[in-house]
Structure 1
Amino acid sequence: MKKVWSISTTLRNPERLRNFLITLKEMQGCIWNKDAQLEFQIRLIKNRYYGYGNTQFYNGLSSEHIDLLEDINKKISMEDAKDIFESKNYVGASMRGRNSYKTLEKMGLATIKDRKIKITSLGEYLLSDNYDLGELFFRSFLKWQYPNPVDREFSDNTIYDLKPFILTLHLIKRVNELCSEKGLKEKGISRVEFEIFAQTLTHYKELDSQAEQLLEFRQRTESIKEYKLKKEFIEAFKEQFLYDFVNIENLSDYADNTIRYFRLTRLIYIRGGGYYIDLEPRRKVEIETLLKTYDGSAEKFTKDEYIDYISNINLPQLPWENAKNLNEIYNDLVRDIDKIFRENNLSKKSHTLFLASVKLREPSLTLKQFEEQEINRLREYRKLLLKQVLKIQLQDISKIDETIDSLKNIRTLDLKPSIALEKYITMALNIINDAKEIKPNSLLGDDGDFIFTAPANKPDIECYYESFNSICEVTMLTGRDQWHNEGQPVMRHFRDFEDKSSKENYCIFVAPQMHRDTINTFWFSLKYEYEGKKQKIIPLTITQIIDILEYIKLLKEDNKGFVHIRFQSFLESVVELKDDENINSSDEWLRAIPNIVKNFTDGKL
């Protein structure tokens, strides 16, 4: 029996991978034996990267151990962590550490050299301050193959011979080619088609037949107009097509997760209202050269060769890293930016300066310098222009309604809720006032859309105004884990931001609701200090942001302006509650904020 491939559940939280790697680095150079494997798992508990907040893990632990794990103000010693681990009475205890390490090895983030723990160049990249998840996963997916020497699953080379990511790109390209030949619209493949036909590819030689079957399925599905009959046909087709696959129970979830992570590479994009997955047209040169170079088949490696290969961030050399292709990429970017200027009525002066800068391009750069400096500069400039275009579009009342509706239904959108919240709070901040720049640190696609959340070492959103600056941190967490994940990190991000800003600074914290421990932490920072100085942190619920947007919408409908000074006055009013003689606790502060919001939306502030 065959298996469908998918992104491992262990890769569903990249920050968890990074935390595991941070812990493993504490042991770099140690001999990787049973004692070290045990120590690694104990260190994960000590650092609260394993077990913390997991009610299943708490089963069998004493109340003292649970209290220690839950109280993040207390450090867990190695001795305490060892006691906690031993309380679990695991059979084959060192195996826990081996399993925690295995995911890092499969990703090429760590390896064992001469029996010693070593963080690889790919792992060091993930640990760096300016790591890009998109680049990390692109490098990993490019080399991901079945069979491979470190993975027992999919090891039967009579069934499996593929690189899943590369072969998926080939499948989308081939389906588009078939559509073109038949005079049909080229639109990539749908989520249902991805689920059935992409994740069931087991051999690169199946590509053509799989693409043809996909198109036949699409044409038959589109010919059925009644929804119920169409759904019945799809389910019957799935049952027949997948009859010899054994792991199809969660196929739809597998597909959603795989699409989400493939999108990180920036080589695919989502179209058709979020329903179709297509090749990213802005990366045409990269995709074409990649698919000409790799047919989607697995390569032959020994175990050591494979580990060295997947862990080296500089391998393989990318097929477009030559003068001809890099110049094509550069010229495509210039044309795309020129088009954005012309189609969106942006500054003519900036347009003229941009065209002049292209003519002054430095001719003596090496290929690597050309890619890292000139091409990346143009991509960043395009992002900046797309943000300007978005701000213009968001002045339309219909866009305000769309943002409000999305925030009201944040858990049911096509995007993962945490990503959706960063996206629509960014849009809300653009709508609210005349900021100089609203800068999300989220991972964005070439189309400017949100792909993944901001990295853990940066604020979610940075906001720059004429008279003040702010950051905005958002979370979908509502339990005590909100305090653990957001309390100290938010204040730390804010302090780093304050240290670089010469203006008055604020931090807006947005969540569905506030946990008492989070509010208590922010109240102490506001009322007393964090690292020796007070901080102006303003907690707002998603509902309160919606109320503010409704107010801004009314102003726009009445052709009334709204400037950032008024927004600053609102933020300052929340801060000044700390000096109210009737407010003496974090609970009282939190209960008073809705009145400030109401006064603001009633036009009294």
Structure 2
Amino acid sequence: MRKAEHKPLSFSTTMRNPERIVHFIGCIKEFEGEILTNSVIISIVSKVIKDKLYKPMYISRTSYLNSIFNDEAEVFTDEQIEEIIINSPQKHKEAGFQEGWPSRFDTWYKICKEFGFIYYEMDKPIEISPSGHVLCDAYASTSENSGEKIQKIFLNALVKYQTNNPFRKNANINAPIPLLLNVLRLLNQDPKSSGISRKELPFVTCWNNSDHEKLYKFIINFRSKFGYKASDEVVYEECLKLLQSNNRVRFKMNQITKEGVDDLIRKLRITGLFSLRGRGRFIDINKLELDTANYVISEYTDFKTFKNKYDFYTYMGTLDPIIIKTRDIEISNVDEIRINALKEFAKEYPLPIIYDELKCLQIKKASKDEYLKLIEEPTRLEFLISLVLIQKYPHYDIKPNYAIDDEGNPTFTAKGGVADIEVYDTNMDSLIEVTLMRGRDQSIAEIPAITRHLKEQKEKSQENDVFSVFIAPHIHADTIYMCRFTMFQEKLGIYPYNISDFVDKVDKTKEISELKYVV
């Protein structure tokens, strides 16, 4: 067996966001308890491709299949899935799996395994852990606290995560989240501290032990030499020393100073424990979650290491009842923090830039904005639409409901049971609902809930004009039918727009009521 070497912390790039992880777990969930064979793997692969979670090159090269893939209203037949799989040999090999699709399967799912959501080995039963089940249930739920529960499940996994876990063969030995929390606590003893700089985060990803006091002193010493203006080259050289390596081919500068940092920040943000300061230039402990942060420090700073993969999976997949317990934020001015931050963001992001970012979401194009790319796409959509509304209609009372950190940065989508964004005027109440869902499930998952929100708003509102605007990358035909049904049955208006049509329409209006039309 090859000796473990020092490597920077790196999560799988196959699944960068939590929603994608859940969709993949959903594809394997129905096979729970079945013995994993190559035949079962092909069945799971078929479901992944049918759900359009993975696009083999054969689809892109075949016009009619590419057309089906790009059309949210179309689905692949079983015969087409078989054609795609046969004509898409995967030149890929993972240890313990046959070359081809079985190895591709392992590439997809190994991060789910490492986070303790599922477990599989060839010729053994497929398992879904308690945390994996709760995660899937939370995504499927419309309950008020489902969003917070999703955050807590990822927090449950990430606070336990170890760089030297048996899936990784890394000579670095630490639990990165408790390590970072401890360092932040020490840094924050200086009242002028804003947390840890993005420039310093590579030191966390490359740190080779669990001594947080030593890492804190390393960062302070680095600051005394370079302040916050060190070049990427200087940071990179320090990281190579930490890794005890001169291998600039294996450990590329961009991966350590840029890609690895972005990925770490996205994982940190999933937990809800961390705040962005200085528009993402610094990471700090979220003051709204201090109790949870202190609990993690007290319970997970010291950790047991594992040599057996299944034992580590069991540890990761077990739910800590203290961590997953949902609670109301006990801060009275959360709404004020959110709206004040939104107004400041509106000064920094003019409408043309926001429109471009919205269109990127519509076509699944990655944002290049250093701040916006740190916000998960579903939350980013709510945030960008809120920015549009507050700039186009400053005379209205705009109330977004996405979750925030202590500086008003968006952390997660609006909780269940409330509209994504509420808009009030002296003679009108409007509920703005957004989603990145594109397929026919859109009508089932979204329109009944919007109708319920509208009925509740109509009952408590003093205004005659109560309606909803629904925004998505693509409006499915079934969604239009459901909006018409709601208008006929409930006499309530839901006006659907795809993102580009919304941008075109809103840019020409002065009042939000102008968004109403005959559906």
Q: Provide the TM-score with structure 2 as the length reference.
A: 0.75
Would you say 1:144 and 2:161 are equivalent positions?
Answer: yes
1:471 corresponds to: 432
| In structure 1, distance between residues paired with 2:442 and 2:476 | 15
Task: Please say if residues 138 and 265 of structure 1, whose CA atoms lie closer than 8 Å, have aligned partners that are also in contact.
Answer: yes
Q: Which letter does structure 2 place at the counterpart of 1:276? A: F
Could you tell me which runs of 5 or more consecutive residues in structure 2 were left unpaired when the two chains were aligned: 91-98, 358-366, 459-465
Deviation at 1:535, TM superposition (A): 5.0
**CA 1:174 to 1:6, structure 2 compared with 1: closer, same or farther past 3 Å?**
farther
Would you say 1:282 and 2:312 are equivalent positions?
Answer: no
Identity of aligned residues (%): 19
Would you say 1:264 and 2:270 are equivalent positions?
Answer: yes
In the alignment, which of 375, 384, 405 is matched to residue 445 of structure 1?
A: 405
**CA 1:463 to 1:200, structure 2 compared with 1: closer, same or farther past 3 Å?**
same
TM alignment of 1:424-573, pairs within 5 A: 424-429=384-389, 432=393, 438-440=399-401, 442-453=402-413, 461-463=420-422, 465=424, 467-473=428-434, 485=438, 489=442, 492-502=445-455, 503=458, 504-509=466-471, 518=474, 521=477, 525=481, 535-538=494-497, 540-542=501-503, 545=506, 567-568=512-513, 570-572=514-516
TM alignment of 1:20-419, pairs within 5 A: 20-51=24-55, 56-58=57-59, 62-90=62-90, 91-112=99-120, 115-128=124-137, 129=141, 130-131=146-147, 132-149=149-166, 151-154=167-170, 159-177=171-189, 180=190, 185-195=192-202, 197-205=203-211, 207-222=212-227, 235-243=233-241, 244-245=244-245, 246-248=250-252, 249-251=254-256, 252-295=258-301, 297-300=303-306, 302-314=308-320, 372=326, 376-379=327-330, 382=332, 385-388=333-336, 390-391=338-339, 401-402=347-348, 404=350, 407=354, 410=357, 411=367, 412=369, 414-416=371-373, 418=377, 419=379
| In structure 2, distance between residues paired with 1:237 and 1:63 | 46
Deviation at 1:191, TM superposition (A): 0.7
**CA 1:71 to 1:27, structure 2 compared with 1: closer, same or farther past 3 Å?**
same
What SS does the aligned partner of 2:169 have?
Answer: coil
| In structure 2, distance between residues paired with 1:527 and 1:210 | 56
What SS does the aligned partner of 1:204 have?
Answer: coil
**CA 1:11 to 1:98, structure 2 compared with 1: closer, same or farther past 3 Å?**
closer
> CA deviation digits over 1:405-437, x for unaligned, max 9?
673685535122744442242244356377777
Q: Which letter does structure 1 place at the counterpart of 2:197? A: S
After the TM superposition, list the runs of 4 or more consecutive aligned residues in structure 1 that deviate by more than 6 angstroms.
433-437, 457-460, 526-534
| In structure 1, distance between residues paired with 2:508 and 2:198 | 35
Deviation at 1:250, TM superposition (A): 1.5
Task: Please say if residues 346 and 390 of structure 2, whose CA atoms lie closer than 8 Å, have aligned partners that are also in contact.
Answer: no
Q: Which letter does structure 2 place at the counterpart of 1:106? A: E
Deviation at 1:4, TM superposition (A): 0.8
Q: Which letter does structure 1 place at the counterpart of 2:151? A: G
Task: Please say if residues 7 and 172 of structure 2, whose CA atoms lie closer than 8 Å, have aligned partners that are also in contact.
Answer: no
Deviation at 1:192, TM superposition (A): 0.3
Query: What is the Cα-based RMSD across aligned positions, in Å?
Result: 3.9
| In structure 1, distance between residues paired with 2:443 and 2:35 | 37
| In structure 2, distance between residues paired with 1:75 and 1:213 | 54
Name the structure with the higher helix share: 1
Deviation at 1:279, TM superposition (A): 2.0
Task: Please say if residues 184 and 285 of structure 2, whose CA atoms lie closer than 8 Å, have aligned partners that are also in contact.
Answer: yes
Deviation at 1:64, TM superposition (A): 4.2
What SS does the aligned partner of 1:11 have?
Answer: coil
**CA 1:448 to 1:497, structure 2 compared with 1: closer, same or farther past 3 Å?**
same
| In structure 2, distance between residues paired with 1:400 and 1:176 | 29
> CA deviation digits over 1:484-510, x for unaligned, max 9?
737762685134311453245332427
Q: Which letter does structure 2 place at the counterpart of 1:494? A: I
Deviation at 1:153, TM superposition (A): 3.5
Task: Please say if residues 142 and 165 of structure 1, whose CA atoms lie closer than 8 Å, have aligned partners that are also in contact.
Answer: yes
Q: Which letter does structure 2 place at the counterpart of 1:505? A: F
2:93 corresponds to: none
**CA 1:73 to 1:275, structure 2 compared with 1: closer, same or farther past 3 Å?**
closer
Task: Please say if residues 440 and 476 of structure 2, whose CA atoms lie closer than 8 Å, have aligned partners that are also in contact.
Answer: no
| In structure 1, distance between residues paired with 2:279 and 2:51 | 42
Deviation at 1:171, TM superposition (A): 2.2
> CA deviation digits over 1:321-375, x for unaligned, max 9?
xxxxxxxxxxxxxxxxxxxxxxxxxxxxxxxxxxxxxxxxxxxxxxx9xx65xxx
| In structure 1, distance between residues paired with 2:267 and 2:475 | 34
| In structure 1, distance between residues paired with 2:445 and 2:487 | 9
Deviation at 1:16, TM superposition (A): 1.4
| In structure 2, distance between residues paired with 1:378 and 1:427 | 24
Q: Which letter does structure 2 place at the counterpart of 1:571? A: L
**More displaced 10-residue stretch of structure 1: 112-121 or 30-39:** 112-121
Structure of larger gyration radius: 1
1:329 corresponds to: none
Could you tell me which runs of 5 or more consecutive residues in structure 1 were left unpaired when the two chains were aligned: 224-229, 319-367, 476-483, 512-517, 552-565, 579-605
**More displaced 10-residue stretch of structure 1: 77-86 or 239-248:** 239-248
2:11 corresponds to: 7
| In structure 2, distance between residues paired with 1:393 and 1:190 | 21
| In structure 1, distance between residues paired with 2:198 and 2:182 | 16
| In structure 1, distance between residues paired with 2:334 and 2:313 | 40
Task: Please say if residues 166 and 294 of structure 1, whose CA atoms lie closer than 8 Å, have aligned partners that are also in contact.
Answer: yes
